[in-house]
Amino acid sequence: MPLSMYHASVPALLQMLNSLDAILDKAAAFATARKIDESVLLGSRLAPDMFPLVRQVQITADFAKGTTARLAGAEVPKYEDDEKTFAELKARIAKTVKFVQGFEAADIDGSEDRDIVLSVGGQEMRFKGQPYLVLFALPNFYFHATTAYDILRHLGVEVGKRDFIGMT
């Protein structure tokens, strides 16, 4: 039996969002225990030309909601990018989880050939549903989730592979 578009997207997106939420809990506890202002961690980045942690989490959530909405042919909700605390980022993730959970298999299955059009950096990109999911959306989603994890791991937050894949 082939893997459906729904099963190739929604469960993976939800698993990683939930893992990222738990990782942010560990980051908040780390900051509190060491008396580090949250803004220091949230503003940290791996390299000067990369986005900071706060933006990595925002983009991860954006890819989750955008991917499911586009595959379902639904409106992509717009979020303000104004989070300044771990609690606010966790609320963004929770809102995204609720949105993604609102889709059923019937909403997304059959979207392999759906026309997907989006703007990236002011440039229009066109995809069919399956290449959009497999070659663009999921790689970007995991890139930003992994970068958020890597920033926190680099700063000394005690997280590991089991945290990342949600097996703790």
Helix or strand run (H / E) with residue 116: strand 115-120
Closest CA to 87 of 113, 54, 112, 111: 54
Task: Report the C-alpha gap between 73 and 89 in whole angstroms.
Answer: 26
pLDDT at 1: 57
Judging by beta carbons within 10 Å of its beta carbon (0-12, 13-18, 19+), is residue 78 exposed, middle or buried? exposed
| pLDDT for the residue 2 | 78
Q: CB–CB of 10/107 below 8 Å? A: no
pLDDT tens figures, 79-96: 999 999 999 999 999 999
Residue 151 contacts by C-beta under 8 Å, 6 or more apart in sequence? 41, 44, 45, 46, 52, 53, 56
- One-letter amino acid for residue 165 of the chain: I
pLDDT for the residue 149: 98
Domains of the chain from N-terminus onward: 5-165 (1.20.120.450)
Alpha-carbon distance 4 to 109, whole Å? 6
Are 153 and 159 in contact, with CB atoms under 8 Å apart? yes
Instruction: Give helix 53-72 / helix 86-101 axis angle, nearest 10°.
Output: 10
Q: For 36-61, how does the pLDDT look when each residue is reduced to its tens digit (9 = 90+)?
A: 999 999 999 999 999 999 999 999 99
The per-residue pLDDT for 64 is 98
Identify the segments of the chain with pLDDT beneath 70: 1
pTM for the whole structure: 0.96
